[in-house]
Structure formats: structure tokens, C-alpha cells
A = this chain, B = another copy of it.
Amino acid sequence: MSIFEKLESQVRSYSRGWPVVFHRAQGSWLYTEDEKPYLDFFAGAGALNYGHNNPVLKQALLDYISSDGVTHSLDMHTVAKRDFLNALDEVVFGPRDLHYKVTFPGPGGANAVEAALKLARKVTGKEAVINFTNAFHGMTLGALSVTGNSMKRGGAGIPLVHATPMPYASYFGGAYPDFLYFERLLDDSGSGLNEPAAVIVETVQGEGGINAAELDWLRSLDEICKRREILLIVDDVQMGCGRTGPFFSFEDAGIKPDMICLSKSIGGYGLPLALTLIRPDLDVWAPGEHNGTFRGISPAFVTAAEALRTFWTDDSLEKSTRAKGERVGAVLTEIADEHADLGLVAKGRGLARGLEFPDGETADKVCAAAFERGLLMETSGPDGEVAKLLPPLTVTDDEVEHGLGIIKESVAATLR
């Protein structure tokens, strides 16, 4: 029996589908301890947009550690944090004419969501929140209460209340207006809907099955929130940092949310970092009202700043992501069309792509077949029915083609 079997809780999941032991990683590739390479179309569930161990970031990280830079600093001022804030201001906020205050809510995306919900409730004095069907925002109690997945919700062991789910974009396949129910409930003082402090939304639902909201839908949502004075929180933990092309996933829609949750790839190198960006006038926190031990991991600030400066001072990454995304989308559509009789559907935007199968079992088999062929790809969606493609944005064209080739083969082998 391995030490994993001996000691690790049965809650583990990814290691079940990929029963190997990984050792090292570079760019788009993970290598097992016996040097078997795997092309990584999973990218740390979106935490590795710049690939594994990017050499530029790596060097900055090694330099920082070697020089005994502060590692752990809570919310003290450090040179590393200053440099990161400067990079964020110059590279991200400035060019986009964005004005946000930055909260460091703790190390992960769930912390960013918890802080946003707390602040929205404090600012408005209201407790209710609107979330969307098939949303995923994290596993701590506050974040879980706005998450859709019933198995994960059931894990809470207490009723998860305070949030009411509304239909996400195209929930009815376009047959019915998307905001019909939401607007009607808000208009009707007898509807029984508790008046919401905020709406929390992903622009593309990753865990929910790679559901990409149309830009018009996002604009309508923004307009509804502004008109009704409901705060709009965009959870850009997975879709931000360029996953769909632009730095923020909502940029194409031309909206400016009241709060933005960032984590995963913001650290650049896979180290934990999270931000809650808040409209300056909403910054009504009391000092220390929200805190935590791992708010300032300076090595992550270093790689985060370096990543911003390396990848976001021009639009080359954005353009290449869009282009590669188009290519991936085209091939998935082709595959879906080949199996139109089985109801396969190609989904997604940018390099957040998915292939929906009739059921979770089939999607699992396709992913298993891909793993056998050296490709890491996971499922998502309420029944795990969507094979999800989140390659590093730095994936090469050859790697894209290699991965798509494996996917084609895996689908063919499974559906044969």
C-alpha cells in the first residue's frame, strides 16, 4: 500500500483518474517520476495560464528566495507587495481606465469570494445574494452557499441559505428570455424574493460545464444591476488573467463590475494568491475586519508582478489566446458535428473550451482514453458530462494540434 493510500483521505479526486506520480513540469508538460510526459490541458484548473515553471518567472522567484526576500508578511508593507501593486496599477488598471481598491482576502479564490460577499452585505445592509445555476465559487461556507453543485452543497451539513439561483445565460437554450424570471421577481414586491445585496457571476462557468455567457447577456446583467442598485461581483478566479483572451474576462462585454474576485493564475507560477478588487467607494472595511495569515506571500507577489510585466504589457498573449481558442473551438465543433447524432456540443470561449457528451460516463471514458494517450483533460458540468480543455495560454501551436489529435482519437475510440 502506498503512503497515499495509507494516509490520504478518500476525498482525493484527481489522483483517481490519473493514477501516476508526477515529478517535474515544464511549460505545457507534466512528467511522472519515470519521465513519462503528459500534455497538460488542465493547467491547474486554470491556475497555470503561463504554463508550468515559466523560466522568466522561475528566475525571478529563485532570485528573490536566494536574496532572502521576505517570504511571509501578512499585510505588512513589503518591497515585493509594492512592486506587485505597481505592476497591477501600471499594466492592468491604467491601460483599462479601471479604478479599484485591492483587498488581499487570503490565499485562495474562495477567500476572494467570501470577502466580496461580506463587503457587499456590509455596504448594503442586505443579506440575500443572487447566484446562477451551475455556478462554482468555492468550498468554504460562504462561497459554497453560492455554488450550485448539489453534491458539494450537501457536504456542508447545514442548510445553505441566503442565495437564490437564477437561470444562467441560455439556460433555456435561447427559447426564453434569460432575465425574465429575475426581473419579474425583482419588480414584484410580493414575489417572496429577499431583496439582494449583490449578484455574483462567472462570465464563463468552468466547473459548471464551460458555459460561456454571451456578451449581451453580461451587458444586460450589468445594466439590471446598475439600474436596481444591486452590486455586481464578477468571480474571475478561473476566467480572468487572460483565459478567454483579455486580461479580465468581462472586458469584451465593456462592463465594469463593482467587485472582482481574482486568484488562480494571478500568482503567475501556481503559488497561492487572491485579490478582491472593490470599487473605491465600497471600501468601507474597518481595519482588520477581514484578515488572515496567508494574505501576503511575497514569492507569489514576485511571480505575479513578473507575469504581468512579461505577458500583459502588449496584446500579443491576448491575440494568441483568441487565435488558439478559435482553432480549438473549430476542431471541437468538427468533432461534435461528426457525432451530431449523439448530441455532442462544442462550448466555450478563448482557451476555456469544452466538449459536451450525452452523459458523464462517456466524458469520463474520453478523458481516460486521452490520459492513456498522454493528455490531461478533466470533466466538468453538473453530471461531469463535459470534457474541459484549459491548456496553458502559452501552449504552442504544435502542442495544440498534438492535444487536439489525441482528443479526436480518444473520442473516436470511445464512441466507436
Contact = CB atoms under 8 A, between A and B. Distances in A.
A24 to B, nearest CB: 5
A294 B278 contact: no
Interface in A18-77: 18-26, 30, 33, 44-48, 52-53, 58, 61-62, 65-77
A91 interface: no
Contacts of A227: none
B155 A30 contact: no
Interface stretch (A246-254, A283-291, A327-335): A283-291
B74 A294 contact: no
A44 to B, nearest CB: 4
Given A14-B74, A139-B114, A269-B71, A286 B151 contact: yes
B142 A77 contact: no
A120 interface: yes
A249 to B, nearest CB: 17
Contact of A192 (B122, B147, B176): B147
Contacts of A374: none
B122 A155 contact: yes
20 contacts: A7-B89, A9-B278, A9-B285, A11-B290, A12-B75, A47-B294, A62-B66, A72-B270, A118-B157, A122-B157, A133-B192, A142-B142, A149-B189, A150-B190, A152-B289, A159-B159, A161-B194, A181-B181, A190-B381, A272-B297
Interface string A119-133: 011100101100111
A321 interface: no
A219 interface: no
A163 interface: yes
A240 interface: no
A245 to B, nearest CB: 21
A118 B146 CA distance: 16
Contacts of A46: 293
Contacts of A100: 7
A247 to B, nearest CB: 16
B65 A58 contact: yes
Nearest to A81: B4
A121 B157 contact: yes
B140 A165 contact: no
A6 B257 CA distance: 19
Interface in A280-330: 283, 285-294, 297, 299
A347 to B, nearest CB: 15
Given A7-B85, A172-B180, A291 B52 contact: no
